[in-house]
Amino acid sequence: MKLTSKGRYAVMALVDLARFNNLNPVSLRDISLRQGISLDYLEQIFSKLRKKEIVQSVRGTQGGYVLSKKAKEIKLTNILDAVDEKVKTLQCKKESKKGCNGRSTKCLTHNLWDELENHINNFFEKKSLDDLVKDNTEKRV
Amino acid sequence: MKLTSKGRYAVMALVDLARFNNLNPVSLRDISLRQGISLDYLEQIFSKLRKKEIVQSVRGTQGGYVLSKKAKEIKLTNILDAVDEKVKTLQCKKESKKGCNGRSTKCLTHNLWDELENHINNFFEKKSLDDLVKDNTEKRV
DNA sequence: TATATACTTGACTAAATTAGTCAGGTTTAT
DNA sequence: ATAAACCTGACTAATTTAGTCAAGTATATA
Ligand code: FES
Ligand code: FES
């Protein structure tokens, strides 16, 4: 059970972006340098974030990205969803009435993993980008 | 973020085993047939469970496996740990004072992922094998 | 208007991980 | 003796991850 670097980087980059957001667009190059993430990889990630309307792009010199909404309105769920970092604890399709391996009934652990999935998603629903920015600025005071 | 089938099968197999445990040793062949898990794969899994003293083996004809402790005393944590299904949300080494990619400070998301890891592990600490067996027998009443 | 900065897109790939299989044992009840 | 069942280690195909690479387009500014 591990987090992939795509999800990790997406959040990291957005926290970085959110801290500088009110001034000017933030270029991926800056984020790349500050956070030590490959520029090419960041481009892939931001392309997805843009499609899900979490960020907006500003092209040309002095361009970059800005948040599409207020940091308080962007939940961790939204970010992870945008980059396809899904929580998948069930083996079966949740909606289907069939079990794990195409069997006719749900397996002995189905309910357990379903509960776990909810438990994790609750965590992601509660955390906003704003919370994360604050977590990191408080320490500097 | 997904669960591997090794972890999934380990729990599934142990719930199956626990249900028949009081009578005789349960053979992997039976578990394999009932749960639809490859016998060879089960053997790998039970070898690990045995090394961590979650099950005991009984060799020879009519042999099989029995639980080493009471189902109430076996937590999900113990099972997942035994088969190396670890929760890993942090990129850095938790103990180290260095950050993600060997940097000198912890990254912007370190605390977040640390919190998440605890959140998930709490879930695993609370659930015992006994809970899972009961979840599945209640329904039959 | 030339140029440098920065976003945009899509294809490609090396490395790691997963989810098993396979072959050859050993032990023991009947 | 034999069959059931555990035991061990090596091997592999498929998938996923974590990027790289190449070839653009848009725009501020000197
Ligand atoms: S996880 Fe849904 S049936 Fe097994
Ligand atoms: S996760 Fe620990 S420093 Fe980034």
Task: Judge if the beta carbon of B64 is closer than 7 A to nucleic acid strand D.
Answer: yes
**Letter for the amino acid at A37?**
I
Residue A21: pLDDT band (50, 70, 90) is confident
| CATH class entry, domain A5-140 | mainly alpha
- Contact B105/A at CB under 8 A: no
Averaged confidence pLDDT in chain A:
94
Question: With a 6 A CB cut-off, is A100 part of the ligand 1 pocket?
Answer: yes
Mean pLDDT, range A43-56, rounded to an integer: 98
- The predicted pLDDT at position A75 comes to 98
Mean pLDDT, range A48-54, rounded to an integer: 98
Q: Is the pLDDT of residue A35 over 70?
A: yes
Question: With a 6 A CB cut-off, is A116 part of the ligand 1 pocket?
Answer: no
Distance (Å) from CA A52 to ligand 2 centroid: 26
Residue A139: pLDDT band (50, 70, 90) is low
Q: Do A36 and B1 touch (CB under 8 A)?
A: no
* CB A100 within 8 Å of CB A92: yes
Task: Judge if the beta carbon of A6 is closer than 7 A to nucleic acid strand D.
Answer: yes
Of B100, B96, B120, nearest to B110 (Cα)? B100
What residues of A are in contact with residue B112 (Cβ under 8 Å)?
11, 127, 132, 135
Residue from B89, B95, B101, B107 whose mutation best tests the ligand 2 pocket (most atoms within 8 A of CB): B107
**pLDDT one digit per residue (tens) for chain B, 141 residues:** 999 999 999 999 999 999 998 779 999 999 999 999 999 999 999 999 999 999 999 999 999 999 999 999 999 999 999 999 999 999 998 888 889 878 889 999 999 999 999 999 999 999 999 999 999 887 655
Q: Is the pLDDT of residue A70 over 70?
A: yes
How crowded is the C-beta side of A16, counted as CA atoms within 13 Å?
23
Mean pLDDT, range A57-66, rounded to an integer: 96
In degrees, rounded to 5, the angle at the alpha carbon of residue B13 between the alpha carbons of residues B118 and B51 is: 70
Q: Is the pLDDT of residue A137 over 90?
A: no
Residue A3: pLDDT band (50, 70, 90) is very high
- The predicted pLDDT at position B105 comes to 92
Domain boundaries, chain A: 5-140
Task: Judge if the beta carbon of A36 is closer than 7 A to nucleic acid strand D.
Answer: no
Query: b/e string for A74-103 if b means 16 or more Cβ within 10 A?
Result: bbbbbbbbbbebebebbbbeeeeeebbeee
User: Which of A3, A120, A124 is the best substitution to test chain B (most B C-beta atoms within 10 A)?
Assistant: A3
Mean pLDDT, range A30-38, rounded to an integer: 96
Q: Do A11 and B111 touch (CB under 8 A)?
A: no
Interval A72-109: pLDDT, tens: 999 999 999 999 999 999 999 888 888 987 888 999 99
- The predicted pLDDT at position B23 comes to 78
